[in-house]
């Protein structure tokens, strides 16, 4: 689990709810179902209008993975590749087949399987780089959808506010109701701002960072697996792959 994402979301909502709770009227005055329907329903509707179903289907899964699954460590990946290289050097490439049952990463498993099946290093590289490119495009689409939702939510908040103001201004015979009507109208703006700045935009940013990390990991895996196929020494593979790490992480591997 990516604890930073969970703590960040929880802390943001707790702070906002606490600010609502200590004011006059408490949290109940901020609950307005029609306003929620306008913002969340409207955002979902125009997102469906803007993107094809094939792009929208994975969005929820992408958000859950980004929020609850911690990104793999490059250091751990290097250690795994070096251990595979040691095994292949001692017992041959076919010995790696037994290791595939322990691999959760389908990309890494596919690369190792290509090596076991006897494909050349150039072929393995071409296939894996194409797979990595498609993965990157999927992440890019997911980020674009979340960015758009972050733009749609405040817009529908403003639409809801305008709808509420029009309804309020239809009858000004009771001045005491103007304040309540104005407060209700402004709630849609609040919901839109909260949805955009506490959910959609942060998730888009998180997904972008996750995509960059995954791109680095994919490049590292490709280099490592091709090096195993070429029969390079494990120590040489480790030195080569350390180039993907910052200096502090390189010292960790050396230790």
Q: Considering only CA atoms, give the Rg of the chain.
A: 26
The per-residue pLDDT for 242 is 87
pLDDT tens, residue by residue, 185-197: 889 999 999 999 9
The per-residue pLDDT for 141 is 86
**The overall pTM is greater than 0.75:** yes
The per-residue pLDDT for 55 is 83
pLDDT tops 80 at residue 208:
yes
pLDDT tens, residue by residue, 116-153: 998 998 999 999 999 998 888 888 888 899 999 999 99
For residues 165 and 35, the answer to whether their CB atoms sit within 8 Å is no
Name residue, tokens 């990157």: 136
Average pLDDT of the residues in 178-184: 74
Alpha helices in 98-242 (DSSP H): 106-116, 121-169, 176-195, 201-230, 234-241
The CA-CA-CA angle for residues 87, 124, 212, to 5°, reads 95
Q: CA 185 to CA 201: how far, in whole Å? A: 24
Take residue 32 and report the two structure tokens written for it: 């307005």
Average pLDDT of the residues in 97-105: 85
Residue 117 carries which DSSP code? T
For residues 252 and 75, the answer to whether their CB atoms sit within 8 Å is yes
């Amino acid at each position: 689990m990516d604890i930073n994402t969970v703590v960040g979301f929880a802390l943001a909502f707790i702070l906002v709810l606490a600010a609502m709770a200590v004011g006059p009227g408490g949290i109940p005055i901020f609950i307005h179902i029609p306003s929620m329907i306008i913002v969340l329903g409207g955002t979902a509707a125009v997102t469906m209008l803007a993107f094809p179903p094939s792009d929208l289907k994975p969005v929820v899964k992408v958000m859950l993975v980004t929020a609850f699954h911690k990104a793999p460590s490059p250091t751990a990946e290097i250690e795994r590749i070096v251990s595979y290289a040691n095994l292949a050097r001692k017992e041959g490439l076919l010995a790696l087949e037994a290791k595939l049952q322990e691999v959760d990463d389908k990309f890494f498993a596919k690369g190792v399987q290509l090596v076991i099946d006897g494909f050349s290093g150039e072929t393995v590289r071409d296939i894996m780089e194409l797979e990595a490119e498609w993965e990157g495009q999927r992440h890019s689409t997911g980020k674009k959808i979340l960015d758009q939702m972050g733009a749609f939510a405040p817009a529908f908040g403003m639409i809801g506010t305008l709808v509420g103001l029009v309804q309020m201004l239809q009858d000004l015979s009771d001045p005491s109701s103007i304040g309540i009507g104005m407060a209700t109208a402004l709630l849609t703006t609040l919901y839109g701002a909260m949805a955009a700045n506490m959910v959609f935009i942060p998730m888009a940013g998180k997904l972008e960072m996750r995509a960059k990390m995954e791109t680095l990991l994919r490049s590292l895996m490709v280099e490592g697996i091709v090096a195993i196929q070429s029969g390079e020494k494990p120590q040489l593979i480790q030195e080569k792959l350390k180039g993907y790490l910052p200096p502090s992480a390189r010292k960790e591997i050396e230790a």
